[in-house]
Structure 1
Amino acid sequence: MNQSMLTATNTLRQLQDKIDTISHNVANVDTNGYKSKQASFTDLLVQQINNQPDTSKETGRKTPYGIRTGTGAKLAQAVISPSQGALEHTGRALDMAFTKENQYLKVLARANGSDEVAFTRNGALEVSPLGNNRSVLTDANGNPVLDEHNAMITFRGNVADYAIRPNGTLQVAYSDGTRESFNLGVVQMRNPQVLEQVGNNLLRLPQNVNAANVYTDLTGATRSQISMQQGVLEKSNVDLSTEITELTKTERLYQFQSKTITLSDQMMGLVNNIRS
């Protein structure tokens, strides 16, 4: 396979990854709390060929000396966009939304046969029965929501009302007149790009990564940094017009690289015909 085909093939693979990223964003345009990912490219190895040993003969040249032959481009990274999504008022007591960027709820999610802490900004909370007249607070997918000590938040008896305070405190009023308070588990992400996206709009910490380098648990006095609002949901921050524009541009690049392979094949066919 000649160099033009190799370069085009390498780039095609990476363009397909970007198309997949855009498609994932578009598919989650109506997912509460979803954060879009933006893909960026970088060049692969470039070979420098100095075909003119006498640089004085290249005086006035505007481009770098020699000839550079590349091997294509690669997807450098897919960055999570932390920007705030629009807030939709629902009036539902168990709906909440963060009003600061990079703050996430902690939930207990099942992955690879074991339970692990995951993070979400989807504030559509639910209450699921546990039996024995007890219930547990969960996210929209049934994952238990954790408190600031990583314990599940459970209720006893019949709950008459819920109140979510801006500092992340959940106050519960039972039908018998008693009350109980819980501190929702909230983290402030410092380096969200390290996190892995998993199913059901959850993020998790990769293996062998120190959590202290990625996020801070907002507990004690630091809970004053939490900012959330009851009765609203944060929509995704996907800009559909931008995604469609990027998809169109990427598909054009994909067609261009495919055309490169076709033209290279045609030129090799011409060479074979000349030799015969």
Structure 2
Amino acid sequence: MNNSMISAMVAMSGIQQKLGVVSDNIANADTVGYKGKQATFEDVFTTVKQQPGAASQLPGRVTAPGYNIGFGARMGDVTMDMTQGALKSTQNPTDLAIQGDGMFAVSVDGQQGWTREGSFHYVPVANDPKSAYMATEQGYLLLGDDGQPLKVPAKTQIDIDAKGVVRSTDGQGKVTVVGTRTVDPNTGKETIVPRRIQVDRITHPEGLQQMDGNLFVLPANQNRASVIGPMSAATEVRQGFLEASNVDLSTEMTEMMTVQRAYQLAARALSSSDQMMNLTNTLRG
């Protein structure tokens, strides 16, 4: 009976955690760029116990001589579903979506982070009224391929191609590529090295730590090269689009009902074990 009570309590604890994962998915079903999470379970101290004495050696025995004994199941890892969400057109030039594998690199309190949320807006640059940064709704600055916040001309039309190259068009129709100006010391010719939006390929999403909302950072003890890779050739940046959450609401609601029923079953098993223990304690010899 003690074993059944322990198994029920362990199962209830794991089911509560699973319910939290499902609830988080449902709450973010309409969050831009959100990636659903999935929970896995594992047995706790499961072993095979042999039948005592001659019971395991009876001739003609059909059932196995041993039986499984354990202490329920607990929630193991929580993994992210990195499948592509639907792209929705917004016609807003500061809305960006990633078609394929990758995440936008953003600046988070001096360190680098990653997100799939592409609803950016302009933020003025201090002491530079002619320029602006692109930032998320939480204020994280979009980074360029040099690891620095991407600075774009203010009050101009911004066009971003599939590879993340930014071009601005002023009121006179002059098109300028956003980049770093260099001058050849021999010829004096000025050229512009284009700056691209930094989109990194996440080779191992489980190596990232999820922070607030859709923001992910690299843990202090994690090797960057084992998690982050360069942008894939097949990955494209789509301007004027936003990626919807990849959560299937009907699937999550069904999962929630299944989890609730499992919790009720474990609670009933715990209650039954408690009643049996009370009856045992009242027995008289």
Q: Do these two structures clear the TM 0.5 threshold for a shared fold by scoring above it?
A: yes
CA offsets per residue over residues 191-215 of structure 1, 9 Å max, x none? 1122111103111112211111112
CA offsets per residue over residues 125-148 of structure 1, 9 Å max, x none? 111112321321112221101111
2:176 is equivalent to residue 179 of structure 1:
yes
CA offsets per residue over residues 136-179 of structure 1, 9 Å max, x none? 111222110111111011234x3320111111212223446462
2:131 is equivalent to residue 131 of structure 1:
no
Where in structure 2 are the equivalents of 1:88-99 lying within 5 Å? 88-99=88-99
Aligned to 1:170: 166
Percent identity for Structure 1 against Structure 2? 30
Checking the alignment, whether the CA contact within 8 Å between 1:141 and 1:200 is kept in structure 2 is: no
Q: Aligned partners of 1:78 and 1:146: how far apart in 2?
A: 29
Aligned to 1:234: 243
TM-superposed CA distance for 1:52, in Å, is 5.1
CA offsets per residue over residues 42-63 of structure 1, 9 Å max, x none? 111113211156655375636x
Q: Aligned partners of 1:45 and 1:241: how far apart in 2?
A: 35
SS in 1 for 2:117: coil
Unaligned 5+ segments in structure 1 are: none
Q: Aligned partners of 1:61 and 1:106: how far apart in 2?
A: 62
- Give 2:263's match in structure 1, choosing from 237, 247, 254: 254
TM-superposed CA distance for 1:233, in Å, is 0.6
| CA RMSD across the alignment | 2.0
Amino acid at match of 1:117: Q
TM-superposed CA distance for 1:272, in Å, is 2.0
1:275 to 1:235, Cα distance in 2 relative to 1, 3 A: same
Checking the alignment, whether the CA contact within 8 Å between 1:195 and 1:204 is kept in structure 2 is: yes
SS in 1 for 2:142: coil
TM-score, scaled relative to structure 2: 0.86
Amino acid at match of 2:126: G
Unaligned 5+ segments in structure 2 are: 179-194
2:148 is equivalent to residue 151 of structure 1:
yes
Checking the alignment, whether the CA contact within 8 Å between 2:105 and 2:142 is kept in structure 1 is: yes
Aligned to 1:210: 223
Aligned to 1:30: 30
2:47 is equivalent to residue 40 of structure 1:
no
Checking the alignment, whether the CA contact within 8 Å between 2:57 and 2:65 is kept in structure 1 is: no
Checking the alignment, whether the CA contact within 8 Å between 1:126 and 1:142 is kept in structure 2 is: no
Q: Aligned partners of 2:82 and 2:61: how far apart in 1?
A: 46
Amino acid at match of 1:265: D
Amino acid at match of 1:194: G
Amino acid at match of 1:94: T
Checking the alignment, whether the CA contact within 8 Å between 1:148 and 1:184 is kept in structure 2 is: yes
